[in-house]
Amino acid sequence: MLRRRLLVFPPFFLILLLTGMPPQAAEDGGIVNLRQTGKAFAAVAKQVSPSVVFIQVERVSRGGPTSPPPQAPFGSPFGDDLFKRFFGDQFPAFPNQRQPQPPPQHRIVGQGSGFVFKADKGMVSNISYILTNNHVVEGAKKIRVTFKDGREFEAKVTGTDPKSDIAIIEIKDSGHPALSMGNSAKLEVGEWVVAVGNPFGLSHTLTVGVVSAKGRSGLGINDYEDFIQTDAAINPGNSGGPLLNLDGEVVGINTAIFSRSGGYMGVGFAIPVNLAKNIADQLIGNGEVTRGYLGVVIQNMTPELAESFDLEEPKGILIAQVSEDSPAEKAGLKVGDLVVSYQGEKITEVADFRNRVALTPPGSRVRLTVLRNGKRKLIKVKIGDLEDGQLVASAAIETADALGLTVRTLTSDLARQFNVKPGEGVVVTEVKPGSVAGLGGLRIGTVILQVDRVAVNSSADFQRVIKQRSGDKRVLLLVSDGGMSRYVVLSWR
């Protein structure tokens, strides 16, 4: 019978087996690298902390959750609400009812972060400018900033831009070092980054992580989004603080977190410094932000759309609508053009293209390379000045609802009913549940302008073109909902 034998080794031998190498060799390898990494983080902290500020703001609010509940009116033991339930709003108040008093004012204290930076223009010799988020200082009656050395200053707002969530505040003191600005366009996923700020009021806290992703948009945080995503810990109070590379250069402005708990869950978002710097310089130099205007509705190219346009790859930005009398129309851009580059740089995302147009100074002449019917075409556009309600380069509305549908020719009455132009396209008057059209997001009131890039201006046109394409089991529609155009591919088996 075999017996198991217990082998006993001296303690030092076990240490050698577990480590796999002498302690000195381990120190010479990984530990040395870790020490060097730690020293790099420490160097960044030492370099940038004197420029980072803790921002405290005071706001005044009337009412709020601390306001006392309204009292029953004097002379009515049940209150007017009981009588209004039976007699309606015409029921008069009791004559001896006391007049309601305005709710008391309440002082609200908020906090955030910011940092000193040097503007390209509009500088004043005895002023230090601090870059932060608009939501940190919005509505503030009083702003106080505190530096790491304990010095405190009253600050005032230089300018704000709610659409990008950027704000500049200033203090009357020029003896503060400004942080160096990096180039967020060169930032790569996986790079180390450092966040410095004041989470939960804990002054000048440093956290580290990596760039998790770039170009995050569609989050609904700002009007103009192109976020850097990072796993460096960001918490309430970090807003407005710098996100830095290992050279101590600012690459982003910490702005928001994704959280189900209200605290850090591993996903934070920062505004790229290239975008923030452009906005900040305009606020200091001009007092306001002007944005470029192109006048198109655009959408990302999908594999289904690429196949319908006979493209090998789903790359580029598809123009779904061109506004009348816009810079885009004057330059000759057309619905169905595929924008592949802007000023010689490749374009792959709607958000990136929209931001580039918006950041282009009005009056500038830019070069767009488009694919039209499979051929490259260079188009020069003079960028306009964006006004409220105009289209910079707006993303088309993405829906998913779908081909058992009924269409009608757009008469004047129908055009008025659905608020569209008469004589252009056909209007959808019925969509059957579970039909092919449901998968494309068509609904009652949707106007179909083109079928496979052929204009349809009557129900007969529509039926004829659809019948011609019935053997393809796929159709490309240009549709309009609420004045916004988009391409839709409907397919069936």
Point out the residues that are catalytic. Answer: 135, 165, 239
On whether the CB atoms of residues 294 and 393 are closer than 8 A, the answer is yes
For residue 354, report the phi and psi dihedrals to the nearest 5 degrees.
-60, -40
On whether the CB atoms of residues 348 and 316 are closer than 8 A, the answer is yes
**Location of structure tokens 């006993």:** 8
CA 126: distance to chain centroid?
A: 35
How far is 153 from 128, CA to CA, in rounded Å? Answer: 11
E strand segments, 217-295: 227-230, 242-244, 250-257, 268-272, 292-293
Tokens standing for 380?
Answer: 């020069």
How far is 155 from 80, CA to CA, in rounded Å? Answer: 48
Neighbours of 120 (CB within 10 A): 12
How far is 338 from 453, CA to CA, in rounded Å? Answer: 14
Half-sphere exposure (Cβ direction) of 397: Cα atoms closer than 13 Å: 14
**Location of structure tokens 């930032």:** 187
How far is 84 from 88, CA to CA, in rounded Å? Answer: 4
Give residue 56's region: left, alpha or beta (phi > 0; psi -120 to 50). Answer: beta
Sequence-separated (6 or more) residues with CB below 8 Å from residue 427: 407, 408, 410, 414, 418, 420, 445, 446, 447, 448
Q: Which of 286, 243, 236 is nearest to 265 (CA)?
A: 236
Q: Which of 145, 87, 74, 138 is nearest to 116 (CA)?
A: 145
Radius of gyration over every alpha carbon of the chain, rounded to an integer in angstroms: 30
On whether the CB atoms of residues 279 and 244 are closer than 8 A, the answer is no
- Please report which residue ranges of 192-344 form alpha helices under DSSP H: 273-286, 303-308, 327-331
